[in-house]
Amino acid sequence: MIKARHLEKGHTIGVISPASPSATRSEIPRAIEYIEAMGYRVVLGKNVNKCHGFTAASEAERADDLNEMFRRDDVDAIFVTQGGYGSAQIIDRIDYDAIANNPKIFTGFSDLTSLHLAIGRFAGLVTFHGPGMARFNTRDLTEYTKEYFFQAIGQTSPVGEIPLADPKKWLYTMAPGKAEGCLTGGNLTLVCATLGTRYEVDTAGKILLLEEVETEPWIIDHGLSHLRNAGKFEEVAGVLVGECKDCVPRKHDPGFYSDVGVEEVFEYYLKDLGVPVLYGLPLGHTEDLATLPMGVMTRLDADQKKFEVLESGVL
């Protein structure tokens, strides 16, 4: 895999909106102030936060901003405004040769799963499953998120073990064992959306990351069934399931759920694969979010409830 240069104070961060626009008009100015106060420069793409149906701009405009940021010599890293919806619309408009020839830090999560998988497959670049610009302010960027983000993109040593952010929470070993493999995956819905396309996720010999948010267990069941039917669990080395925020049945009686819980759904598909499965790390739509370099070597030890990033994502 190709790696970008690590981010240093004084470097320039390019901001694009490959999916949805920001929730509020103040979100990006607030984030720019925060990031510039840390010692970085920020430049905005020409089409940031336009409005075009569900997305921040047209497909051509969003793809042009992404391609231009990778081509620009004065940009060192590329952050997204947020996820939301629409990244998959532009993956056939991306200049993957330009990305491979101009490797830069690219970070985001959720809907950006589409771009992580496409860029990793066709440009061979390590990208980062981490926060977008919406988090960069004194209220939303927790110390845990901040620490692991700048460690992942700013240090040439491996991130190492990813711990729980809240010691009161608990990791669940769904299936025991140890495995090593390059990290792939992301948001379950977007991983499933690659199936049957030339951007299809490759899980053979990989540690597969899956996470979701505000999705009913039966819909998660549908996604996992889709992955199983596509053979994506047959050669997987291990599965890492992030803390799935608000993934509960929508119709339930007070005091108890009247439907199958999300842990039971993941167990049904993953427990008997014969590979390690660990559930509950802060790797998705949670207040605390650890940033992970996608495509690097990792180790999953479900017996000891440990997940380690063994390789740096930057040079």
- Could you list the active site residues? 110, 211, 285
Q: What is the 3-state secondary structure (H, E, C) of the chain?
A: CECECCCCCCCEEEEECCCCCCCCCCHHHHHHHHHHHCCCEEEECCCCCCCECCECCCHHHHHHHHHHHHHCCCCCEEEECCCCCCHHHHHHHCCHHHHHHCCCEEEECHHHHHHHHHHHHHCCECEEECCCHHHCCCCCCCHHHHHHHHHHHHCCCCCEECCCCCCCCCCEEEECCEEEEEEEEEEHHHHHHCCCCCCCCCCCCCEEEEECECCCHHHHHHHHHHHHHCCCCCCCCEEEEECCECCCCCCCECCECCCCCHHHHHHHHHCCCCCCEEEEECCCCCCCCCCEEECCEEEEECCCCEEEECCCCEC
